[in-house]
Amino acid sequence: MNISWAINGTEFELQKPNMTENGLGHRVLNMDTMNPNVKRVEYAVRGPIVQRAVQIEKELKEGVEKPFTEVIKANIGDAHAMGQKPITFLRQVVALCAYPDLLEDDKFPEDAKNRARRILQACGGGSIGAYSVSPGIEIVRQDVAKYIEKRDGGIPSNSDSIYLSTGASDAIVTMLKLLTSGEGKNRTGVMISIPQYPLYSAALAELAAVQISYYLDEDKCWSLDIGELRRAVKAAREHCNPRALCIINPGNPTGQVQSRQCIEDVIRFAAEERLFLMADEVYQDNVYAEGCQFHSFKKVLFEMGPEYSSVVELASFHSTSKCFMGECGFRGGYMEVVNMDPEVKLQLTKLVSVRLCPPIPGQALLDIVVNPPQPDEPSYATFIKERTANLDILAEKAKMTEQVLNTVPGIHCNPVQGAMYTFPRLSLPEKAINAAKEKGQAPDMFYCMKLLEETGICLVPGSGFGQRDGTYHFRMTILPATEKLKVVLEKIREFHKRFTEEFS
């Protein structure tokens, strides 16, 4: 039996192999015998829309006629792919670490060479081609601890509580593995925000844990309401054992920045309900809106006093992939654990040891991010200039995105307070909703697929992140270069008008 489907009237067909030929019907691993949890995993950020975008790019190269000349992928927070320039100092040090002969080259500043020498001395054989210890290179973990202490106004951080990781994602999944246990009504439940970053739902599906959804308040700029947390956890206790609460701040995909008061309320809630807190803080430098400020969960926790700081268990995450760096491909990141049971901590170390160690170039890059040039060093002025420029441009694009989308009848966009995305609400005609149902698609998937086919703009439907029933959204990154972002926004404006007229 062949599998066929249609996209905007174009028929596609996938021929299934004859399972009786060449013994294919006797494969040990097939759809019936494979891990059923994997089949439940979905990851919209690289889902069907993106796969079709890649296919369209190939068609354009082959000369297929389209009403556009390029595909613009505004679906993922990949800064460098969208044209953001690397920070000079970061790349200089990594280049020196990768090819130490360059240490003799006068083109490189002395502070970059000193950083590279220090990192190389901490590597086996003086090479970033060697493994490190599983939690990560010791001096890098020490530098991360110093960075956290400085960020949090002197609250102590210990390198023994720092675990380097392959981006933040790997550390998040590792923590979820540690937390997951039980069967039936005793299965671990993990609270995640809706809308959410699909890593969380995908990991929970793979681990056969229970997703406990709590909804952010779109009408209040995607704020977090403690009453909603209480509702969600109370309902969940009927069918699972809630054990963890995940927070993304600044938010992805919603771009909100939590107030200090909100963070305090969340910490009190976690203490009352005996929940392990997971704070995804990878966008901590990406704060744009006036009156908004990043507050780390750890800093707020310790400033609330020992009643909470000695009790609440916390894992917080950061990455080199976002902020002003945007170095996604290096896969650098870290996790800090607070108040973790010492015996469980040994198990965590064992678990990360199975993967040997995070990539060493990523560890090297992370070290430079947390230990940047200082005011008395030759690279300082250039570093600050580039860092400030990257963040200022993102702030301008965040404001422009909000303003332009809110001029489109049928699109409502909350302020992009932080992170790298907007998550606008769509008003879709009933006829379009019915057309989507006929195709077996979510209405915003239908909208985004049609947008891609007609304009070459690749967005992710809100249904891939979760949303309240009866509402429709899309997630779009603000990362394209300013002029290209203007083109994207104008194409969305024109498309939405056509789409609404077509289905009215």
* Stronger pLDDT, 71 or 11, i.e. the higher one: 71
The span from the CA of 296 to the CA of 100, in Å, is 37
Nearest to 100 by CA among 119, 79, 82, 84: 119
Tokens of 199: 């890593």
The predicted-structure confidence for 95-124, as pLDDT tens digits, reads as follows: 999 999 999 999 999 999 999 999 999 999
**From 3.40.50.2000, 3.30.70.1290, 3.40.640.10, 1.10.760.10, which CATH number describes the 138-359 domain?**
3.40.640.10
- Residue extent(s) of CATH 3.90.1150.10 domains in the chain: 38-82+388-503
Half-sphere exposure (Cβ direction) of 430: Cα atoms closer than 13 Å:
0
Share of the chain above pLDDT 70, in %: 92
CATH code at 38-82+388-503: 3.90.1150.10
Q: How confident is the model at residue 25 (pLDDT cuts 50, 70, 90)?
A: low
Per-residue pLDDT band at 167 (split at 50, 70, 90) = confident
Query: How confident is the model over 262-289, as pLDDT tens digits?
Result: 999 999 999 999 999 999 999 999 999 8
pLDDT of residue 354: 82
Domain(s) of CATH 3.40.640.10: residues in the chain: 138-359
pLDDT (tens digit, 9 = 90+) per residue, 289-315? 888 999 999 999 999 999 999 999 999
Cβ–Cβ < 8 Å for 74, 460: no
Three-state DSSP state, 58: helix
Measured between alpha carbons, how far is 201 from 207 in angstroms, rounded to an integer? 10
Residue 194 has what pLDDT? 92
What does the block give as tokens for 41?
């995993």
Mean pLDDT value across the chain: 89
Q: For the chain, give the number of residues.
A: 504
pLDDT value at 36 more than 90: no
pLDDT digits (tens, 9 = 90+) for 310-343: 999 999 999 999 988 888 888 999 999 999 999 9
Strands 425-426 and 472-477: antiparallel
